[in-house]
Amino acid sequence: MLNRIGISGPPGSGKTTVAKLLSERTGMKLYSMGMLFREIAKEKGLSLNELSSIAEEDRGIDELIDKRQIEILKSTDVIMDSRLSCWLMERNSMPGSELKVWITAPFEVRAERIAKREAKSAEEVKDLLRHRENSEAVRYKTYYGIDIRDASIYDIIINNSWLSAEECCDILISVIKVE
């Protein structure tokens, strides 16, 4: 059995939903760094985009989140839902068995999902999403030398634009059983 699973992907890709289902089905503990980032934004009275913009200038925000992720990833039987979890696993030589997963969907599909979830217009979400993705790409390249679009480290890539979260989870369960 795997000791840790990293699930990454762009906003609105469905990674958190799949991670929750996988956690329920495997009994592995789920940690979501997106939720931590949202909590920090809320504590500071900021939107996600505002906090992302601040994080471009204040590396301390990413360092806080990264430190927490690395500590969590040192444990076993964990699923980490985060944009950088797989990169952190790759760079920090985590002991034990691991699976690095990238879940994605086309921009339009992701924007529609977020609009529905946040009760906003699709056009408004598209603008916010472009800003957020650009902000993150700049931060990850500047702070870590990571091109977030580089999929070379992932063990499995799932485009879930036409799959349900349950079907994505089924795919991952079948991979885990084969391991």
| 66-103 pLDDT per residue, tens | 888 888 888 888 999 988 889 988 888 766 678 999 99
For residue 71, give every residue at least 6 positions away whose Cβ sits within 8 Å of its Cβ, in sequence order, or none: none
pTM for this prediction: 0.84
Choose which CATH entry (3.40.50.300, 3.40.30.10, 1.10.1060.10, 3.30.470.20) describes domain 4-173. 3.40.50.300
The highest-confidence range among 50-54, 128-132, 167-171, by mean pLDDT, is: 167-171
pLDDT at residue 100, as a whole number: 93
Residue 117: Cβ within 10 Å count: 10
d(CA 21, CA 77): 15
CA quadruple 64, 67, 72, 73: dihedral, nearest 10: 130
pLDDT at residue 166, as a whole number: 95
* Per-residue pLDDT at 178 exceeds 80: no
d(CA 99, CA 89): 9
